[in-house]
Structure 1
Amino acid sequence: MGASELLVNTVRYAREHGVRETLRRGTSFAREASFRWWYSVSGQAAGGEHVFERNWDLLIVLDACRADALSEVADEYPFLDTPGTFESVGSYSLSWMENNFREKYSGEMSRTTLVTGNPFSETALDGAEFERLEEVWKHTWDEAVGTIPPRPITDRTVSLFREHDPDRAIVHYMQPHEPFTTHPELQEGSSAAEWGDAVDKSVWKRVEEGEIEEERAREAYMDELRMILDEVALLLDNVDAEKVVITADHGEAMGEYGIYGHPRGIAIDELRVVPWYETTARDSGTHEPAVNSKQLEGDQTERLRDLGYLE
């Protein structure tokens, strides 16, 4: 973010929230702007490794999963027994998609099935470039919580593996990204309509503004991580894949350098160094996917507001 963009955003924020609130947020605005400027001029915002440069059959992406957080709970899950890390090509989901799914990798993409719960897919991805693109968020979004629960992602993936046996597949879960389904009390404005006016009440913004204790938010994040890992365990027990990787699109800042969440263009390790755990999957047939009869088309803008990306 350059000086002109910072000024435009500050004026817009002041109009919507008032001068007093804008002055109170001034330090946060300036901090993020200075980080973006530094990474821009230094070139450190670029770089990272593209996922298609690695060997895998099934890539499981946990949105906003920190490497140290996964390491902390690894001994609770037998499939997390090969620890490793990976430098992501983005510090938030849109840049991760734009930088990974490029013309250079069109051959790999054409034989890859992508099942995603992330609404940025509508902006960043072209279904014609993949063997299949399943944007599950469009018809299984939970308006009450403001995100897509993991089970529809699991169910669609299991069905696709049993029906089509894809050569390669990417499964993009939204958790442990907020809002935390395990702690809905921490999130204000959880419906799409409310989030349009209350994006600044995301969990990490509330921590930044002193409304929630940082430790409470961290504990909620870890609970959400355990919840999604339980879901991953179910998936691994109901698909066949020789080489499975569990990773993340980006991490999550929790106060490092005064940064919270995952702002675009900031390349600190907490955002760019993500987990990379290898395992296998065998279909035991223990789970039968639910048939979703409620095919509701979702609005991308409302979904991104739910996740705290848009005002």
Structure 2
Amino acid sequence: MEYNTSGTDIIADEDWDNLILLDACRYDAYTATTPFVGPIEMRESRGSTSRQFVRGNFNGKRLHDTVVISGNRWYLDLQNSDDFDCEFHAYYDVERDAADGFVPSAEAVTEAALDKIGQYPNKRLVIHYMQPHHPYIGTDIDGFEQKRVDMREYVRRSSVDTDTIRAAYQDNLQYVLKHVQRLVEELEGKTVISADHGEALGERLSPFPVSWFGHPIRVYTDELVQVPWHVVSNESRRTIRSESPRSQLTDIDQAEIEQSLKDLGYK
């Protein structure tokens, strides 16, 4: 199976007007860091990678009431595959303005979302940030060069230890949450903060006999599939309407999409 069938279907099983996704955000890290009040529930993700998460939640669906604003390009990559079929009302790819064009900054995703809110008052919004996923642009800890390699390769090449990596990850989470706070203040309706999947930060993940960093595909350990489900606003529900798609894909070249995913260790 291409995804974790035990995981929550965020479309069929959950109720929300705005869904803010933090990339590679562990449940335990979020609960220790979030500035938002209220009970934090846990959900099991449909994937240990973004690819599985997107496929498991969106494939085969006509989501003409939903607009996606994303720094994660798996939505675009899968739309170009023969075995993935999904329609949103509109989709917007966020400019990759951080770490020499490696990823979109949290600022860029927030600005893109704020720019679209007024255009779609009657649509559900999915806003997908790339942090706390590496590169750790939100940390000033010495030793982190933002190189275009996946996390395991980065750790192999560097001299940083596990405690330092975990601290940098936590810094990156704090960084993105500051910008999420700004966005939440402007959103109307029921707003939920969650994640596409978690992240291994030095744990031993069966069946791998070594400490692991990152998020290997089809490994459904707690570190990789337990994600937060935090309702941070639930007032003034919007009237949601389904309308014919306005746009599906951007003009981004497929080779560019694949290269950006390869840089993150996915290809």
Partner of 1:72: 32
Q: 2:75 is aligned with what amino acid?
A: S
Partner of 2:51: 94
Q: 3-state DSSP class of the match of 2:197? A: coil
Partner of 2:66: 112
Shift of 1:155: 1.3
Residue 168 (1) aligns with residue 168 (2): no
- Unaligned stretches of 5+ residues in structure 2: 205-210, 237-249
Contact 1:147 1:306 in 2 (8 A): no
Q: 3-state DSSP class of the match of 1:225? A: helix
Instruction: After TM superposition, list the pairs within 5 Å mapping 1:34-49 onto structure 2.
Output: 45-49=4-8
Q: 3-state DSSP class of the match of 1:122? A: helix
1:132 to 83, 90, 99: 90
Partner of 2:201: 254
Distance 2:234 2:98 in 1: 28
Q: 3-state DSSP class of the match of 2:92? A: strand
Partner of 1:235: 183
TM-score (norm 2): 0.80
Q: 1:160 is aligned with what amino acid?
A: K
Q: Which structure is higher in strand share? A: 2
2:18 to 45, 58, 64: 58
Shift of 1:252: 0.2
Cα deviation digits, residues 194-240 of structure 1 (max 9, x gap): x3xxx2xx444343577211000100000000000000000011222
Q: 1:300 is aligned with what amino acid?
A: I
Partner of 2:264: 307
The alpha-carbon distance between structure 1 residues 128 and 254, as it changes in their structure 2 partners (threshold 3 A), is closer
Distance 2:50 2:19 in 1: 15
- Unaligned stretches of 5+ residues in structure 1: 1-39, 284-294
Whose Rg is larger?
A: 1
Distance 1:178 1:269 in 2: 19
Distance 1:67 1:57 in 2: 21
Cα deviation digits, residues 56-95 of structure 1 (max 9, x gap): 0100000000000011113xx1x24221100110100011
Shift of 1:281: 7.5
Distance 1:296 1:130 in 2: 16
State the percentage of identical aligned residues: 30
Distance 2:3 2:99 in 1: 37
Q: 3-state DSSP class of the match of 2:186? A: coil
Cα deviation digits, residues 231-286 of structure 1 (max 9, x gap): 0000011222x211100000001122232210001110110110110011899xxx
Contact 1:88 1:274 in 2 (8 A): yes
The alpha-carbon distance between structure 1 residues 177 and 92, as it changes in their structure 2 partners (threshold 3 A), is same
Q: 1:259 is aligned with what amino acid?
A: W
TM-score (norm 1): 0.70
Residue 85 (1) aligns with residue 48 (2): no
1:219 to 167, 170, 173: 167
Distance 1:166 1:260 in 2: 40
Distance 1:90 1:166 in 2: 29
Q: 3-state DSSP class of the match of 1:229? A: helix
